[in-house]
Amino acid sequence: MMNRKRAGAMALFGAALLLMAVEPAAAQSGSASTTQEAISGLNSNLFYVAVPITILVEGILIYTVWKFGKSDEAKPTQENRRLEITWTVATAVILLFVGVASYQVLGSPYVSASSENTLEGGPTQEIEVYGQKYNWNFVYRNVSVDGASATDVSMTNVSIQGTSVKNVTDEGIVISGGSASSATDGALESASLVNGTVTAGAGNASQYENRIGEQVSFTDVSVSGAAVEDASISDGTVKSTNTVVMPKDENIRLNITSRDWLHAFHVPAMGLKQDALPGESNSIVTKPTSTGEYQLYCAEYCGVGHSGMLGSVEVKTQSDYNSWLAQSWFSAQG
């Protein structure tokens, strides 16, 4: 009897030590998205159930070998209905716990794209993801940004009101101040122009040499090297390659497809993985919870350049994300 008590106490003590070691590690690992948080939470819950069961089973096995390993003759076991009922009920309870815990996670729209549960607030940004040997391409449509700033801007078909002529050079008419608008890709509804150079569309530049310091207006001209503030962009399109940018604490829907053959979009730190199939679009939804940069892989062998088909996910604050959208949109206008 004393040996049994000691064996049980040692088993419980070992389980407690193991759980104490696991808990800080799980707490320190953190989660980069709601998707990873749900998956890690399920793994932790199942681990906490599996460890005591494993220790109990292994403890009984070790005790049995130690106690009866030297027996010369095996003795038949006796029926014990209480024991049979106990382990049957215990197994049913464990399986019920595993089933309920798994269903709650797999039923989450952040984990299962086919989930019937709806996102609270809906997706705030949809990003098209195209796998193509051997790069990842991303498209943001219907981009709207208010109060954005950008530097070194080049634009075509832009209208400028109330600007001042600073100088006339071989490159064009140097201007400062005023307001700008354009409708090249989406609409630059308004922007406070800080400076810039009108490079085309203003006619003969020499006619402005005698108007330095005066306010003028331009219609459908090209501008380079400009800086703008308080820009308002609506219905724009932004594209990027191998780097996808997401806003923190916002629902993101990724519509993933391929332009040639099989690829797989995989961001382990965020718990994201989805096949990219030609002619089909597979969606995954997530909400980034930590700013930072995370590694993106292709998880489906796709040819000789597969190992180099890498990218990154950059999670930014909402203000930094809007600034990136604006700067990227302006960079594509020249």
With H, G, I as helix, E, B as strand and everything else as coil, classify residue 240: strand
Residue 118 corresponds to which amino acid? T
With H, G, I as helix, E, B as strand and everything else as coil, classify residue 327: helix
Secondary structure element (H or E) that encloses residue 300, with its range: none
Dump the DSSP string for 142-185.
Answer: EEEEEEEEEEEEEEEEEEEEEEEEEEE-SS-EEEESSEEEE-SS
pLDDT at 170: 87
Alpha-carbon dihedral sign for residues 101, 107, 112, 114: positive
14: its two tokens: 């070992």
Domain ranges across the chain: 2-63+83-106, 125-141+237-319, 142-235
From residue 227, alpha-carbon distances to 43, 177, 236, 259, 328 in Å are 50, 10, 19, 36, 14
Q: What are φ and ψ of residue 144, in 5° steps?
A: -130, 125
For the beta carbon of residue 258, count every other beta carbon within 10 angstroms. 24
Fold of 125-141+237-319: Immunoglobulin-like (2.60.40)
CA distance 195 to 69: 89
Cα first-last separation, the chain:
85
pLDDT at 20: 45
For the beta carbon of residue 252, count every other beta carbon within 10 angstroms. 22
Mean pLDDT for back-to-back runs of 10 residues, the chain (334 residues): 51 50 45 80 84 87 82 75 87 86 78 63 80 93 87 87 90 90 73 90 84 89 89 89 93 91 91 90 89 92 90 92 88 77
Secondary structure element (H or E) that encloses residue 198, with its range: strand 187-200
CA distance 72 to 92: 37
Q: Which residues of 136-162 are buried (b: 16+ CB within 10 A; e: fewer)?
A: bbbebeebebeebbbeebbbbbbebee
Residue 42 CB partners (closer than 8 Å, separation 6+): 101, 102, 105
Residue with tokens 């607030």: 121
